[in-house]
Structure 1
Amino acid sequence: MNHLITSEDLKLQLGKVVIFDCRFHLMNKTVGSEQYRAGHIPGAYYLDLEQDLSGEVSQHGGRHPLPDIETFSKKLRAAGVNQQSTIVVYDDSRMAYAARAWWLLRFCGHQSVFILDGGYTGWVNAGGAIDRREPAVKQGNFKANVQQGWTLDRDAICAQAEQLTLIDSRESKRYRGEEEPIDPVAGHIPGALNFFWQDATDEKGFFKSKSEQQQRWIDLPRDKKIVVYCGSGVTACVNLLSLEASGINAVLYPGSWSDWCSYRPK
């Protein structure tokens, strides 16, 4: 299944699909909402990574634990999401946050979800319309149907270590433990392989071809269950998109390194 939509195709679907703007910046957490207010795709609602696409942070569970499903469902219903709605998500960060929304929506049982290829900049460059108005609250009937077996937590990873192939989606310097700008401990989960999430897209934020995605994973061992993680379970979703586009099944470790290292001495 194709999980992407082009700007040209989206232009034809305005008013027929539910659109979510997922722009965010980890180091300046108000930037995304400010960008949204300054201009967004007409009809788009805003989903904040930390307020909408993540849950409450605690000692363990990572920096961006999965949100409470009913709270998330209410947010979707307020944007008019129904069981049959087609949803389009976008960001301006090489799909980092849009992929989180894409994965989360599908985790909740909603399969008709597409990521805007090229993101907001691609939309603007394609002559797409821009609006500053926030759309009205609606009353959708969306009801989550959480997909079982789509995630694995730390305890399960420890218990099943010999049966798993772990993929660390962070850049190589963080994977190797040479630097760690966010989490209190550097390094990676023992045995994990490193596949940087940004390698799934080009510098303009367009998803690479199916053959290029498949080439990324050509040497990936297939004899074990594949578990993908990153710093906090966000950018790992770009690798999950790449794997799915390549016909490879994988699951998410939502807590990722930020959860894993919370059990280690600083």
Structure 2
Amino acid sequence: MAQHSFLLVCFYLSISSILIFGQTEASSIESLVLRSLYDSIFIHKDNTACPANGFYTYESFVQATRRFPRFGSVGSPEMRRLEVAAFLAQISHETTGGWATAPDGPYAWGLCFKEEVSPQSTYCDSSNTQWPCFPNKTYQGRGPIQLSWNYNYGPAGRALGFDGLRNPETVSTNSVIAFQTALWFWMTSQSPKPSCHDVMIGRYRPTEADLAANRIGGFGLTTNIINGGLECGIPGDGRINDRIGYFQRYAGLFKVATGPNLDCENQRPFA
């Protein structure tokens, strides 16, 4: 009987620990990004001029992060805030509705769009047989990270539980999945690229090829991961400056220093 009671106590303690751990993971982002901070970051996301108004809710953001418990939960408090600031800066540039003389400045208009404006193609790589395109489906930029191409929609859908190849439009109709695709891209390494997450928490270790290409850690490397083929290795590129502008504003709101290596103008893109 004593052994039975001991086992029963251990069982209840184990269940309690799981519940407490789950509550800690679920509440970590809320503690870093209060609703008031989220609203002060995305001042104009629900402006009627923004096609995505009403789509990128705080609740959807928080719910999406629960699928990625390591996001914003690794390292010192400063490192955690820095990673979240970097992620929000990158998705803000990808969805920006700002301009140079915009009200409250150009870096107050993140999350204005949920789908690419005037896509120039269907973003179907027909040579990729692992993730084949489906008839009458297009794979242009959608969601906070502007997920693009069938070879991204396919694995993102598999990881998140939706059919990204047959139903790519889900990314612009379901706000939780939209945020999850951005977090999936941020947290997932795709060789030879590291994950943006590993870069921002200092886990990235450059290879000899990375060092030869000047791909050193910092916010600029996350830009290289996201869109280096079009933006990196170009001195003074306006898109790079926009990303940095968002990051600097958000780092200030999170009360954390940006650190060095903000641009990728001297980096070669990943192959």
Tell me if both proteins adopt one fold, taking TM over 0.5 as the criterion: no
Structure 1 length-normalised TM = 0.29
Structure of higher RCO (CA pairs closer than 8 Å, 6+ residues apart): 1
Higher-Rg structure is 2
Q: Which structure: greater strand fraction?
A: 1
